[in-house]
């Protein structure tokens, strides 16, 4: 079982990677949300196909790569992905800006302990839970 320190670090690294340009999620995920009539979505990172249902396909490989990056990070830190369920990434973009995104990562262990980290909107942080 991974330690609390490691899981907090994983959640932090994942949130910042997903929110950064290196994650390749924006502007594509923001555009897909807007086409579906919203500004936010939830990604289940451990699902075999993490692309959210109901969104138009825009760069689905970016989320597959994010999933791979996450699993690789866990592995490098000596964690088994099977010890975490679920692992979610909530993504939100501003109304008229697909590049300025906010991300919330939640990792829950099989024992029920949840680690949550938010990143984005230039430090102001979004209000969570997601307001639809």
Residue 131 covered by a domain: no
Residue 8 covered by a domain: yes
Residue 129 covered by a domain: no
- In the predicted model, what is the mean pLDDT of the chain? 82
Which of 16-20, 25-29, 72-76, 105-109 has the least mean pLDDT?
A: 25-29
Residue 132 covered by a domain: no
The pLDDT assigned to 132 comes to 39
pLDDT per position as a tens digit, 26-79: 787 888 888 888 888 899 988 888 888 888 877 777 888 889 999 999 999 888
Residue 101 covered by a domain: yes
pTM of the model: 0.82
Name the residue range of residue 12's domain. 4-123
Q: Which residues, other chains included, contact 24 with Cβ-Cβ below 8 Å and sequence gap of 6+?
A: 59, 62, 65, 66
Residue 100 covered by a domain: yes
Residue 130 covered by a domain: no
Q: Is the pLDDT reported for residue 120 higher than 70?
A: yes
Residue 17 covered by a domain: yes
């Amino acid at each position: 079982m991974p330690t609390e320190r490691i899981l907090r670090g994983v959640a932090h690294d994942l949130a910042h990677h997903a929110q950064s340009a290196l994650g390749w999620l924006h502007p594509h995920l923001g555009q897909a949300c807007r086409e579906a009539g919203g500004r936010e979505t939830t990604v289940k990172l451990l699902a075999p196909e993490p692309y959210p249902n109901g969104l138009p396909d825009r760069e689905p490989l970016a989320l597959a790569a994010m999933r791979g990056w996450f699993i690789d990070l866990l592995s490098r830190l000596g964690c088994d992905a099977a010890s975490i369920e679920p692992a979610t990434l909530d993504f939100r973009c501003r109304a008229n800006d697909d590049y300025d995104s906010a991300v919330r990562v939640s990792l829950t262990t099989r024992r029920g302990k949840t680690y949550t980290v938010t990143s984005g909107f230039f430090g102001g942080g979004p209000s969570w839970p997601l307001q639809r």
